[in-house]
């Protein structure tokens, strides 16, 4: 989605963008603990209440699951009730995947494992199950694992809403005018990537983890789409609902105040 800006296919007079790559857990922590290291940053929606004083949510640049999302996988076909008694490897306690998991099963015991190590460690028998994000959602069966629960599907069945996973946040101190200009630039960049999908994907592949191009194309199609341009009213409602449910359940310690900057 940042292809247009990163390659100067999209430019805004008076603005210069520097693109920094980092894993989402690190970005969450930097936004919460730092002093606004990044003017615009990708975050997990779960992390937003902890940084909402410094950042507002942008209306574009998000990843939303339309009846699909993070999955619980295991080497055995456990039932949903059985899986709640298992220790599950998770990719981080500020990820939205973790939030959805704990809404599903508050009693579930978890342990944080690097996201790209979850499947190997479950296969090795170190954990009874794992919560997978990223392209593992498309490849888990190659490792002989069973899908126990798709949390995006579970969420849709229980709320009738898509599952919002990650978005972009922008520093409030930039001011309304600059925030508006940056938001427009990001939206143009996303539209450019959607209109030039093949070249944008080829650019992104240089940062991928040895992904098969066809697999990468499938995964990108799941999470970079029209919802990335704008959440829509139901998407915004889904963000509010998810965070409010997390707060009421005691998973989120700070009362969420969802505000969108455009």
Distance in angstroms (rounded) separating the CA atoms of residues 255 and 248:
9
Q: Which residues of 63-98 are buried (b: 16+ CB within 10 A; e: fewer)?
A: bbbbebbbbbbbbeebeeeebbebebbbbbbbbbbb
Both tokens assigned to 159:
């709320």
Catalytic, 134? Answer yes
Helix (H, G, I), strand (E, B) or coil at 30: helix
Distance in angstroms (rounded) separating the CA atoms of residues 105 and 85:
9
Active-site residue identified among 19, 46, 134, 196: 134
Beta strand 55-58 with 163-171: parallel, antiparallel or unpaired? antiparallel
Largest CA distance in the chain: 57
Do the beta carbons of residue 183 and residue 58 sit within 8 Å? yes
- Residues involved in catalysis: 134
């Amino acid at each position: 989605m940042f292809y247009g800006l990163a390659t100067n296919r999209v430019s805004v007079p008076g603005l210069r963008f520097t693109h920094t790559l980092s894993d989402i857990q690190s970005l969450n922590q930097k936004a919460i603990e730092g002093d606004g290291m990044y003017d615009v940053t990708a975050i997990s929606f779960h992390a937003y209440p902890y940084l909402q004083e410094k950042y507002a949510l942008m209306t574009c640049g998000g990843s939303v699951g339309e009846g699909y999302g993070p999955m619980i996988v295991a080497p055995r076909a456990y039932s949903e009730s059985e899986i709640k008694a298992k220790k599950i490897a998770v990719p981080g306690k500020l990820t939205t995947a973790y939030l959805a998991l704990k809404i599903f099963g508050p009693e579930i015991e978890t342990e944080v494992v690097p996201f790209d190590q979850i499947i190997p460690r479950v296969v090795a028998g170190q954990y009874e199950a794992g919560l997978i994000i990223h392209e593992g959602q498309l490849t888990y069966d190659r490792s002989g694992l069973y899908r126990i629960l798709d949390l995006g599907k579970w969420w849709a069945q229980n709320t009738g809403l898509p599952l919002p996973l990650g978005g972009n946040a922008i520093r409030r101190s930039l001011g309304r005018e600059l925030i508006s200009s940056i938001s427009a630039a990001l939206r143009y960049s996303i539209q450019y990537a959607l209109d030039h999908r093949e070249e944008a994907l080829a650019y992104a592949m240089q940062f991928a983890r040895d992904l098969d191009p066809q697999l990468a194309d499938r995964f990108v199609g799941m999470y970079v789409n029209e919802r990335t341009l704008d959440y829509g009213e139901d998407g915004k409602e889904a963000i509010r609902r998810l965070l409010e449910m997390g707060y009421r359940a005691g998973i989120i310690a700070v009362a969420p105040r969802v505000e969108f900057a455009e």
